[in-house]
Amino acid sequence: MTLNALWVVVEPANGSLTTTSLELLSHARTLAPSVAAVTWGPGDHAAQAGEYGASTLYAIGDLAGALPGAPVAAALAALVAAGAPDAILIPNSYDGRDIAGRLSARLDRPVLTNVTGLLDEGGLVSEHPIFGGTQVVRAHFTGEGPGIVVVRAKSFAAEPSGGAPAAVTAAPVGALGATGTAMITATHIEERQGPKLEEAPVVVSGGRGLGESGEYALVEEAARLLNGAAGASRAIVDAGWVPYSHQVGQTGKTVKPTVYIACGISGATQHMVGMKGSKNIVAINKDPDAPIFQIADLGIVGDVHKVLPALIEALKSRAS
Residues that bind ligand FAD (CB under 6 A): 207-209, 233-236, 247-252, 264-266, 268, 270-271, 274, 284-287, 290, 303-305
92 in Cβ contact with 98 (< 8 Å): no
Spatial contact of 198 and 253, defined as CB atoms under 8 Å apart: yes
- For 219, phi and psi rounded to 5 degrees? -65, -45
Report the nearest approach of ligand FAD to the CB of residue 113 (Å): 15
CB contact at 8 A, 148 and 111 = yes
Q: How far is the CB of 305 from ligand FAD (least distance, A)?
A: 6
Instruction: Specify the residue, 97 or 106, whose C-beta has the smaller distance to ligand FAD.
Output: 97
Distance CA 156, CA 136 (A): 16
d(CA 186, CA 58): 27
Would you say 116 or 250 has its CB closer to ligand FAD? 250
- The minimum distance between CB 313 and ligand FAD, in angstroms, equals 17
As measured in angstroms, the least distance from the Cβ of 211 to ligand FAD is: 6
CA gap 153, 73 in Å, rounded:
21
Q: 37 or 248: whose CB is closer to ligand FAD?
A: 248
Nearer to ligand FAD, 10 or 236 (CB): 236
Pick the closer one to ligand FAD by CB: 120 or 303. 303
Minimum Å distance from CB 306 to ligand FAD? 8
Closest residue to ligand FAD, judged by C-beta, is 249
Please report how close the Cβ of residue 98 comes to ligand FAD at its closest, in angstroms. 21
Q: Is 175 helix (H, G, I), strand (E, B) or coil?
A: coil
Nearest residue to 148 via CA among 187, 98, 90: 90
CB nearer to ligand FAD: give 50 or 207: 207
SS3 245: helix
- Whether the Cβ atoms of residue 308 and residue 222 lie closer than 8 Å to each other: yes
